[in-house]
Structure 1
Amino acid sequence: MQLFVDDLTVIDFSYLCKQRGIVGESWIVDVLLDGSLNDQSMVLDFAVVKKQIKAIIDDAVDHKLVLPIQEPALTLAESPHNEGHQTIDFISDVASYYLQSPACAFASIDCLTITVPAVTKHLTAIILAQLPDNVKGLTLVLRPEVIPSDYYHYTHGLKLHDGNCQRIAHGHRSKIKIYVDDKRDAKLEAQWCKRWQDIYIASEADRVSRDDIELSAYAMNNLTLDHQYFSYHAPQGRFDIAVDKKILEVVDCDSTVELLADFILRQIKAEHTELANNTVTVVAYEGVAKGAIVNG
């Protein structure tokens, strides 16, 4: 007997990639269970599937920085600064990234490259270990949203968030719609998707000096003049990141999707003076099927 739930959840996370750096991603999750019927004549109660399996997935990878621990360019270590925290040194082909976060903000996967099969294998083992004995098989399908237009990948953290969005390196794969006088403007959309291709978005309010950043000893000895520093305390602990300016967008606001939509609108109006008398609408997405709309 088989039981399925399509669109069970969406995983919003970032991962380390040797070629691309830190990549924000969003994958939709479908679940198929194989097993015998239990004493309720079910393979598993839908309520359990939707609540328990979603909770396991969320705890394992959602809103985390996913690490390919076989990658030689990555070093993960216990932080010398804060108990229960870890540091990351990552030297990609694009730039060098250095972080400190509570250990719960990272997910290590035993692979060289973060791929759909690697994450699927990791999650399948974790979930199966927590399901009842009558469930004998589990098939997960992780898939990106089909987006026929332009989209971007961004990574950020929200220090004011009580939940897992506070983690300084989680992200999303997001589409955007921009309208000028109710007509969609593909050129503006493409410009923003190019600008925010594999970008790290930081808030100016979180900027700190080199003297105030907390990173590994290796990081402190290898920082360059191109690195910029951001740090904050949140309910889960202290978060630090050093990011090269060429893969960085610093915004004058928090990086909630509401304020990012407003930031994009303000930037369009400032950079395109020919649109001063036009109505511009920005529909900014945060991952799949959610986002914010601003007009101006």
Structure 2
Amino acid sequence: MQLFVNDLTVIDFSYCCEQRGIVGESWIVDVLLEGELNEMSMVLDFSVVKKQIKSIIDNAVDHKLLLPINNSMVSVENSTTQPDSEYVDVISKRGSYFLQSPAQAFAKIAAETINISSVTDYLTKIIKAELPENVKGLSLVLREENIDTDYYHYTHGLKLHDGNCQRIAHGHRSKIQLFKNEQRDFTLEKQWCDRWADIYIASEADRIEKSDIQLSKSAHSTLTDEHQYFSYIAPQGRFDIAVPTNVLDVVDCDSTVELLADFICRQLKKSYPNDSIKVIAYEGVAKGAIAYD
């Protein structure tokens, strides 16, 4: 007997890519279970699937930076300055990123590449270990949202968030809808999606001096004039990141989707002061914020 739940959850995360650097992503998760009926004549109670399995997936990868630890582009070591924290150095062809975060902000995946296949294998092993004996088979489908217009991938962190959004390197794959005088403008949408392609979005308020950043010794010997530095203390601990300028956009606000929508609206209003502007900004799949002027 098989039991399925489509659209069980959406995982929003970032991952390290040798070509693209740190990339924000959003994947929808479908689950299929196979096994014998239990004493309730069920393979597994739907409430268990929706709560327990979703929780396992969320705890494993959601709002984390996924590290392909079999790839030499990534190095990880324990922090010498913060308890229960780690230094992560990422050397990609697009640029070098250096982080310090609580260890729970990272997911170490034994693979050369982070992709749907490697993350599916990683999650399948974790979930199978928690399933009851009558469940003999598990199939996960991780998939991107079908978007027929332009979209962008961004990475950020929210220092004021009391949940996992505070992690300084998690992200999303998001579409956007921009309207000028109540008419959708696909040209403007493409311009913003090009601007924020595989971008790190930082808040100016979180900028610090190079002398105050907490990173690995190797990172300090590798930093260049092209790096900019950001740090904050949130409920889970201290977060630090050094990001090269070519993959960075620094905004004058926090990077919640509400304030990003407002930021885009304000930028467009400067260019088109006599036009009405409406911004529908998405944060991953099927959620977002609307700003207008």
Is the shorter-chain TM-score for this pair beyond 0.5, marking a shared fold? yes
Q: Which aligned pairs between 1:140-155 and structure 2 lie closer than 5 A?
A: 140-155=140-155
- Equivalent position to 2:273, from 249, 271, 276: 276
Query: How do 1:232-243 and structure 2 match up within 5 A?
Result: 232-243=232-243
The reply on whether 1:51 has 2:51 as its aligned counterpart is yes
What secondary structure, in the 3-state scheme, does the structure 2 residue paired with 1:108 have?
strand
Which one-letter code corresponds to 1:200 in the other structure? Y
Measure, in 1, the Cα distance between the counterparts of 2:237 and 2:258: 25
Work out the CA distance in 1 between the residues paired with 2:73 and 2:292: 43
Post-superposition offset of 1:155: 0.1
SS in 2 for 1:19: coil
C-alpha separation in 1, matches of 2:244 and 2:41 = 56
**Letter of the aligned partner of 1:281 in structure 2?**
K
Match for 2:283 among 268, 282, 286? 286
CA RMSD of aligned residues (A): 0.5
**1:25 Cα deviation after fit:** 0.1
| Cα separation, 1, equivalents of 2:252 and 2:107 | 30
Residues 269 and 275 in structure 2, CA contact (< 8 A), matched pair in contact too: no
Tell me, yes or no, if structure 1 residue 116 matches structure 2 residue 113.
no
1 CA distance for matches of 2:71 and 2:79?
Answer: 20
Amino acid corresponding to residue 135 of structure 2 in structure 1: V
Superposed CA deviations along residues 27-64 of structure 1, whole A, max 9, x for unmatched, are: 00000000000000000000000000000000000000
Whole-Å Cα distance in 1 between the matches of residues 150 and 283 of structure 2? Answer: 14
Q: 2:173 is matched with which residue?
A: 173
| Aligned residue type for 2:255 | S
How far 1:222 moved relative to its partner?
1.0
Give the deviation of 1:269 after TM superposition: 1.6
1:259 paired with 2:259, answer: yes
Out of 261-270 and 197-206, give the one that drifted further: 261-270
Task: Please list, as runs of the form range in 1=range in 2, the aligned pairs for 1:75-114 lying within 5 A after superposition.
Answer: 75-114=75-114
Structure 2: tracts of 5 or more residues without a match: none
How many angstroms does 1:8 deviate by? 0.2
The residue type paired with residue 230 of structure 2 is F
TM-score normalised per structure 1? 0.98
Take 1:126 and 1:231, find their aligned partners in 2: how far apart are those partners?
A: 32
Offset of residue 121 of structure 1: 0.5
Deviations 1:142-174 (A, max 9, x none): 000000000000000000000000000000000
The TM-score normalised by the length of structure 2 is 0.99
Unaligned runs of 5+ in 1: none
Query: Distance between the aligned counterparts of 2:23 and 2:269, measured in 1?
Result: 28
User: Number of residue pairs matched?
Assistant: 293
CA distance in 1, matches of 2:213, 2:227: 11
Residue aligned with 1:113, SS: coil
Does 2:174 correspond to 1:204?
A: no
Q: Give 1:218 shift.
A: 0.5
1:131 Cα deviation from its structure 2 partner = 0.7
Give the fraction of aligned pairs with identical amino acids, expressed as a percent. 67
- In structure 2, the residue matched to 1:28 is 28
- Note the C-alpha offset of 1:2: 0.3
Partners of 2:37 and 2:74 in 1: CA distance:
45
Moved over 3 A (4+): none
Report the counterpart of residue 10 of structure 2 in structure 1. 10
Q: What SS is found at the alignment partner of 1:26?
A: strand
Give the residue type in structure 2 aligned to 1:128: K
Query: Which piece of structure 1 moves more, 69-78 or 96-105?
Result: 69-78
